[in-house]
Amino acid sequence: MSIPHDPSSELIHFSEEFQYMLDEYFNIQCRYQAAIRQVQTKLEILNLEFETKHRRNPIHHMENRMKTLQSITEKLHRKKMEVSMASAVENLYDIAGVRVVCSYIQDVFEVAKLLSEQDDISVIRVNDYIHHPKANGYRSLHLVIEVPVFLAEGRTLVPVEVQIRTIAMDFWASLEHNLRYKADGIVPHDISDELRKTADDISAIDERMQSIHDRMAKLDLKTPRQLSLFDET
Ligand code: GTP
Ligand code: MG
């Protein structure tokens, strides 16, 4: 006797698999969120110390995100890798991401150096798209670092992708991303050429701003510290 085909069984099977991945995603979420916090705290401390010494902040602002389940599965598919959380943990280094937006180009490299030198961190990949911009004009310094996270089960090393760029580079990257996203990734040649030129112009402006900053720094103007030891009552 043949078993009657139940058209809903495939759906139930898929949904169980999906449910399993979702559970696994929530299981790993904790360590990636913890890693993001560790890195962000380290950067906040560097920023604070720099401010105390130099009376300005090299970090303008930071953003962070954990890759969504959808984007994890899409990336594994795209890279023709097994689609599972174990495979994601093994193969993807950008599940946790921190974006650091700095005021000046030199700040980007200073922040990267100070972070990389910390002895509980190992740098596992560096992509310097500032000295070697992408063909489309994209500029940014990408580090993949591993940070220790202490959980009930013990110490785990968790990779975090840190993207460090200037305000100007961030401005270009976020608009380019939106334009490309809206065009479904298909940008006509003349428009992509124009976009690359805007990236070059922005880079020239970044260098001029750096030079203005350096000239101002040489003047060695003594800005008085704000004395806020007492409440103004
Ligand atoms: P992915 O598969 O995209 O993660 O590439 P990858 O692992 O080779 O890393 P890559 O350093 O190329 O890019 C990682 C991230 O940098 C992306 O997810 C984006 O956030 C950013 N990025 C890289 N290239 C571009 C670009 O051309 N434009 C914009 N706006 N962002 C980019
Ligand atoms: Mg990546």
Atom number in ligand 1 closest to CA 127: 11
| Residue with the two structure tokens 């992408």 | 134
Amino acid at 4: P
What region does 80 belong to: left with phi over 0, alpha with psi -120 to 50, or beta?
left
From the CA of 174, which ligand is nearest? 1
Pocket of ligand 1 (CB under 6 A): 75, 94, 127, 134, 136, 138, 142, 163, 173, 176-177
Which pTM does this prediction carry? 0.89
* Residue pLDDT tens, the chain, 233 long: 444 555 555 555 557 878 888 899 998 999 999 999 999 999 999 999 999 998 899 999 999 999 999 999 999 999 999 999 999 999 999 999 999 999 999 999 999 999 999 999 999 999 999 999 999 999 999 999 999 999 998 999 999 999 999 999 999 999 999 998 888 878 889 999 999 999 999 999 999 999 999 999 988 776 666 556 666 55
Amino acid 225: pLDDT: 61
CA torsion angle for 173, 176, 181, 186 (degrees, to 10)? -130
Name the residue among 32, 37, 100 with its Cα closest to residue 69.
Answer: 32
Q: Report the pLDDT value the prediction gives residue 41, as an integer from 0 to 100.
A: 98
DSSP type of residue 211? H
Q: How far is the CA of 152 from the centre of ligand 1 (A)?
A: 33
pLDDT reported for residue 224 = 60
Residue 161 is among the residues annotated as catalytic for this protein: yes
Q: Provide CATH code, domain 11-222.
A: 3.30.460.10
Ligand nearest to the CA of 143: 1
85's tokens: 């959380």
Domain-wise residue ranges, the chain: 11-222
Give distance in angstroms: CA of 161 to centre of ligand 1.
Answer: 11
Q: Which of 210, 205, 222, 216 is nearest to 110 (CA)?
A: 210
Looking at residue 184, its pLDDT comes to: 82
Note the pLDDT of residue 33: 97
Do 136 and 158 meet the contact criterion of CB atoms below 8 Å apart?
Answer: no
191 within 8 A of 175, measured Cβ to Cβ? no
